[in-house]
Amino acid sequence: MNTARDDIHAAAPDPAAHAATERRMWLAWAALAAVEDPEIPAVSIVDLGLIRGVNSRPDGTLEVGLSPTYVGCPATEVIRRSVEAALHEAGVGCFVVTTVLAPPWTSDWISTEGRRKLELYGIVPPEHSAASLREVLRSSKPVACPRCHSTATECVSEFGSTPCKALHRCRACLEPFEYFKCI
Amino acid sequence: MSAMPFGRVEPQALFRYVLRLGDLNLVLGQRLGEWVGHAPALEEDLGLANVALDLIGQARLLLTYAGEVEGLGRDEDDIAFLREHGQYLNPVLVEQPNGDFGQTIVRQVLIDAFQLEMYERMHASTDERLAAIAAKAAKEVRYHLRYSSGWLVRLGDGTLESHARVQSALDALWPYTVELFAEDELDRAMADGGVAPRLADVHAAWLTRLDAILAEATLERPSDRAHSWHGKRGQHSEHLGYILAEMQHLQRAYPEARW
């Protein structure tokens, strides 16, 4: 993640101030890494790739860039409030949370750790990269069941309990499961 | 020459154009919301509600931006809930009643494909804000088309009954699509300013995409007829009033009510 080093040097020419800013940013990242997605409490918003950066503005304000997964997702507001509460709690000083739309969030930004946690939680992580439009419109790659790992599965619904998930069913162990949509 | 704050277009024109985009999403999102609790199966209830949610989310971004461009201090809620019938600039197609599930799916395929071709091109807009919204929305709309076109193929290439129903819905809704591509002076000004794509390009790409879906669904594309719909200019069918009555009821009954 970029941390706008030029800004830090411009704002903090002396080493002590520089170290203080570095420390605040470190505190901010640590606090953010503990903020859970309200719908998928197993995974932090940093693992989901929702934090686009923590930068220090020339006036010393920390700017935290937050991307929505889906623009209509009601969890977005909750996440924003959780982020503000966590940063406040961590004592990072003056900060502002901005919404970053471009480049748009993609499920490719979920970290390796995030994918592992999703799977443990019983949600199949998304296929890599929705690069081709044809793939998005007609992808029929089998999704492996998170319980028995059979690929004899079927999509029950393109949409699930939250905007980011689809519903699948395993024909081998007969259990339903969720798949994190690839966008 | 004084510099215009929004690149090469007049703020008032940009305001109206962004309303066109936002109102399409708002009205269609409201329409799809009518299916909640009424869809043929729980999965379709979820599907249509999720599409509606994405559309409302996009409408919020667009109407917020419209309010900023207008510069009169109106926010997304003021614009969504406190305008009159003739001030909504959505194409008439999206206010048409849901009909049966097949008719809703036909309308959705027509609009999803239109929005996809619009947004995929609007990435390159000279208006940075619209470019960002379009890039985000395009990802969601791709998925909407995956859902709607999947259903259209199943229904069209399904039983005699389902085929007949979606073909007749397509015949009934087709005349309303003409308005989507009927370029007027506002569309032209936006294309000239690099804010929006040329509707002729969007139309050609839309037809190609649609023909492929219709072929797979064994449906026949109706022929274009002269159109007389001008929802984009605020002249609506009788259906919009009922949508607004429901949508605006709370704000009209309890002005400035907040969650």
Residue A47 and residue A24 share a domain: yes
End-of-domain residue from the set A44, A65, A99: A99
Q: Taking CA atoms, what residue in A is nearest to B131? A: A102
> Cα-flanking dihedrals φ and ψ of residue B57, to 5°?
-60, -45
* Residue type at position B29: G
- Rounded to an integer, what distance in angstroms lies between the CA atom of residue A48 and that of residue A37? 8
Mind listing the pLDDT tens digit of every residue in chain A (183 residues)? 444 444 445 555 678 888 999 999 999 999 999 999 988 888 999 999 999 999 999 999 999 999 999 998 888 899 999 999 999 999 999 999 999 999 999 999 999 999 999 999 999 998 876 556 666 666 667 789 999 999 999 988 888 888 889 999 999 999 999 999 888
Chain A residue with the nearest C-alpha to that of B153: A138
> Are residues A25 and A95 part of one domain?
yes
- Residues in chain A with CB shorter than 8 Å from the CB of B117 are none
pTM exceeds 0.95 for this model:
no
The answer to whether residue A105 is domain-embedded is no
Domain encompassing residue A88: 5-99
A82 and A135 in a single domain? The answer is: no
Are A17 and A90 part of one and the same domain? Answer: yes
3-state secondary structure of A100: coil
* Judgement on whether residues A13 and A86 belong to the same structural domain of the protein: yes
When divided into structural domains, chain A yields a total of: 2
A73, A162 in Cβ contact below 8 A? yes
What phi, psi does B158 have (nearest 5°)?
Answer: -110, -120
A32 CA to chain B: closest CA distance, Å? 23
Nearest-angstrom CA–CA distance, A124 and A147: 10
- Name the domain boundary from A43, A67, A99: A99
Please state at what angle helix B128-156 crosses helix B42-70, rounded to 10 degrees: 160
Q: What is the mean pLDDT of residues B111-121?
A: 97
Look at residues A49, A76, A99 and tell me which one is the last residue of a structural domain.
A99
Contact A103 B131 (CB under 8 A): no
B56 touching chain A per CB within 8 A? yes
Q: Which of A149, A44, A55, A50 is CA-nearest to residue A106? A: A50
* Fold adopted by B11-220+236-253: Ferritin (1.20.1260)
Domain boundaries of chain B, sorted by first residue: 11-220+236-253
The 10s digit of each residue's pLDDT in B39-88 is 999 999 999 999 999 999 999 999 999 999 999 999 999 999 999 999 99
CB contact under 8 A, A71 and B60: yes
| Any domain includes A93 | yes
CATH value at residue A53: 3.30.300
**Residue range B181-240, pLDDT digits in tens:** 999 999 999 999 999 999 999 999 999 999 999 999 999 999 988 777 899 999 999 999
Rounded to 5 degrees, φ, ψ at A157 are: -155, 135
Q: Judge residue B185's burial from the number of C-beta atoms within 10 Å of its C-beta, 0-12 exposed, 13-18 middle, 19 or more buried.
A: exposed
With an 8 Å Cβ cutoff, are B53 and A167 in contact?
no
- CA of B20: how far to CAs of B13, B84, B89, B197, in Å? 11, 15, 5, 14
> For chain B, how big is the Rg over CA atoms in Å?
18
Residue A159 falls inside a structural domain: yes
The reply to whether A29 and A54 lie within a common domain is yes
Q: B118, B106 in Cβ contact below 8 A?
A: no
- A77 shares its domain with A134: no
Q: Does some domain include residue A63?
A: yes
Enumerate the β-bridge partners of residue A155: A168
